[in-house]
């Protein structure tokens, strides 16, 4: 069978699961579906991790780039608001002194 360039594993996932339950090796599954051994190996590893996480009840790992600055609490928001209000007051006073209002 000819090797594929990209495979949507969600579409063939039930087939792979059924073949694994029948006792087929990863190499046999790869040959049957026209995949490489490494593709099947990677999929089985990811599948086992997902299954273990569901059993233990752990939340899934967040994807994407992490935040530069973590979310803050309400106290930190209140401090930031107070700082900005003070900054606005200073700017307003400065503009009045320089007569640029």
| pLDDT tens sequence across 33-52 | 888 899 999 999 988 888 88
pLDDT of residue 54: 81
Q: Is residue 14 part of a domain?
A: yes
Please report the beta strands in 1-101, taking only residues with DSSP state E, as ranges in sequence order. Answer: none
For residues 14 and 51, membership in a common domain is answered with yes
Q: Which residues of the chain have pLDDT under 70?
A: 1-7, 60, 70-72, 100-101
Question: Are residues 4 and 35 in contact, defined by beta-carbon separation less than 8 angstroms?
Answer: yes
For residues 41 and 75, membership in a common domain is answered with no
Residue with tokens 């967040």: 62
For residues 52 and 78, membership in a common domain is answered with no
For residues 47 and 75, membership in a common domain is answered with no
> Residue 40 corresponds to which tokens in the numbers above?
């099947």
Alpha-carbon distance of 44 to 91, in angstroms, equals: 61
């Amino acid at each position: 069978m000819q090797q594929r360039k990209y495979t949507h594993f969600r579409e063939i996932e039930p087939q792979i699961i059924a073949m694994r339950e029948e006792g087929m090796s990863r190499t046999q599954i790869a040959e049957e579906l026209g995949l490489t051994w490494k593709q099947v190996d990677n999929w089985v590893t990811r599948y086992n991790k997902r299954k273990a996480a569901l059993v233990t009840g752990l939340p899934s790992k967040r994807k994407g780039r992490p935040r530069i600055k973590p979310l803050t609490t309400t106290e930190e928001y209140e401090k930031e608001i107070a700082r900005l209000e003070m900054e606005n007051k200073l700017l307003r006073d400065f503009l009045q002194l320089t007569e640029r209002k």
